[in-house]
Amino acid sequence: MNADGHKSAGLSFRLWWTHPGLRALAALLLVVVIGLVFNAEGAFFKWATHRDLLRQVAVFGILACGMTLVIISAGIDLAVGSILGLSAVFFALFSLRWGWSPFLAVPATLLAGALCGAASGGLIARLRLQPFIVTLAMMVFARGLAKWVSGGQKISTAVELADGTYRYGEAPPFIEFLNAKVLADNVAVVTLIFLACGFCCWLLLAKLRWGRYLYAIGGNEEAARLSGVPVGGMKLLAYALSGLFSAVAGICQMAQEIQGDPEAGAGYELSAIAIVVIGGTALMGGRGGIGLTLLGALTIGYLEKILSINAVGEAARLMLTGLIVVSAVIFQHRRK
């Protein structure tokens, strides 16, 4: 390693480079440049393309918000995709099938998601079980519950009547609203929900004592415990919030599909983890932040969109995604 060569690069550059936010930004710019080059006959220069990718990444971003809290506390939550599916089914059941008002359906769905998360968190905190295995169990359980509650079928506006025919309801206005675009059709509502979730996480992590506790637990759990941090309670909180955000994502997913699919969100936990890690939050815990996750979400979102508008084939798409994700991470973590 040529250490002398790096020295000549200058102090200011090294300071710049050690800031994780700037490194995440550099990774994002790298991907955007790919888009500028491969712009699919100008499709990349249309605002609609960017608006759509911001809509599409919202659900993953919301999951990643909760995941960030958990990962900062040195945990992992594999259940977010399944809780998303379960929440989508619950919300469809409440609002489409039973016709509940959104003022009842939304809190009930959020409560269900938060309870699932709290169940994981409770087991992890009280019985000191491995987060990986507990949330893996929750992942399987919640998926099963979603299939059971829905009878294995998507819950949509079409309702089967006793004589075998179907009645078609209209989607309630609230769901139409969630699926709509605002600000003169320039921003999807779900994008704004994602930003709101990010803002809540930022408040928690940067402004509240609870946030500092999460960093402390992730940095050194035993030291945190000895200095009086309520480790168990904080872990419970982190997983409950992760469940809550998964339910928010489930509601957004359901509103965009206008149906509750018990299979929704399968595999999404990996995308959420990828977003958090690409942003630069350490999987070992203790370091990172929600701003990084926002940048990570944009990086993944742009990557998928660029491959999609260029109609890249599935095999090449998977390989390129793997390569670009790994390059982005290497690019970020190169430090001396």
CB 285 within 8 A of CB 76: no
Least Å distance between CB 104 and another protein? 22
Residue type, 152: G
280, 97 contact by CB (below 8 A)? no
263 lies in the site for another protein, by CB under 8 A: yes
Does 173 engage in binding with another protein (CB under 8 A)?
A: no
Q: Which of 7, 46, 207, 333 binds another protein (CB under 8 A)?
A: 46
Here the tokens at position 301 are: 């979102």
Alpha helices by DSSP H, listed for 227-289, are 231-257, 268-279
**Tokens describing residue 298:** 């944009």
Q: How far is the CB of 118 from another protein (least distance, A)?
A: 10
Sole binder of another protein in the list 308, 320, 321, 329 (CB under 8 A): 308
Q: Which of 216, 219, 218 is nearest to 227 (CA)?
A: 216
How many residues in the shown chain lie near another protein by CB under 8 A? 38
Q: How far is the CB of 135 from another protein (least distance, A)?
A: 17
**Residue 118 exposure: Cα atoms within 13 Å on the Cβ side:** 9
Which of helix, strand or coil describes residue 168?
Answer: strand
Among the listed ranges 11-19, 104-112, 190-198, 256-264, the one in contact with another protein (CB under 8 A) is 256-264
Q: Which of residues 98-137 bind another protein (CB under 8 A)?
A: 119, 122, 126
Q: How far is the CB of 152 from another protein (least distance, A)?
A: 5
Smallest separation, CB 101 to another protein (Å): 24
179 contacts another protein (rule: CB under 8 A): yes
- Answer yes or no whether residue 246 interacts with another protein by CB under 8 A: no
Q: How far is the CB of 157 from another protein (least distance, A)?
A: 8
The answer for residues whose C-beta is within 8 angstroms of residue 5's C-beta and 6 or more apart is none
- Upper half-sphere CA count for residue 274 (Cβ side, 13 Å): 21
Distance between CA 323 and CA 336 in Å, rounded? Answer: 23
What does the binding site for another protein look like in residue numbers (CB under 8 A)? 40-41, 43, 46, 48-49, 52, 56, 119, 122, 126, 147-148, 152-154, 156, 158, 160, 166, 168, 179, 181, 253, 256-258, 261, 263-264, 304-305, 308-309, 311, 313-314, 317
